[in-house]
Amino acid sequence: MSDADNRPETLIDALGVRRNVTVGLVVGVLVAAVAYAVRVFELLGPVVTTREYPVVGPEGWFLLLAVVFAVSTALLVILVLTAIRAARLARSV
């Protein structure tokens, strides 16, 4: 087997982007779910505010924030994992 047979076909395969996306999405969803549960179910105690939440109520707004938080966290994890893989590949070459 030559080195050409061991090379990945694309840059995406070489950087393991598909695996990184999977890991990032799982981490993002888990972190956002925990943050949502802590805030909405008041796991750390009630939050004393007089703020009003139009249209969808507080649960709806925090659900929307949880989605944004999940996507942001997933993107951060994907970026970090891909950068680490790229650095390792650069050092090995």
Query: 46-62: per-residue pLDDT in tens?
Result: 766 667 777 887 788 88
For the record, the structure tokens of 24 come out as 């990032």
pTM score of the predicted model: 0.78
What pLDDT is recorded for position 2?
53
* Residue 43 confidence (pLDDT): 72
| Between 39 and 28, residue with greater pLDDT | 28
Distances in whole angstroms, Cα of residue 7 to Cα of each of 2, 4, 15, 20, 34: 9, 5, 12, 19, 40
Rounded CA separation 16/30 (Å): 21
In the prediction, which pLDDT does 71 show?
96
Count of positions (residues) in the chain: 93
Nearest-angstrom CA–CA distance, 34 and 81: 22
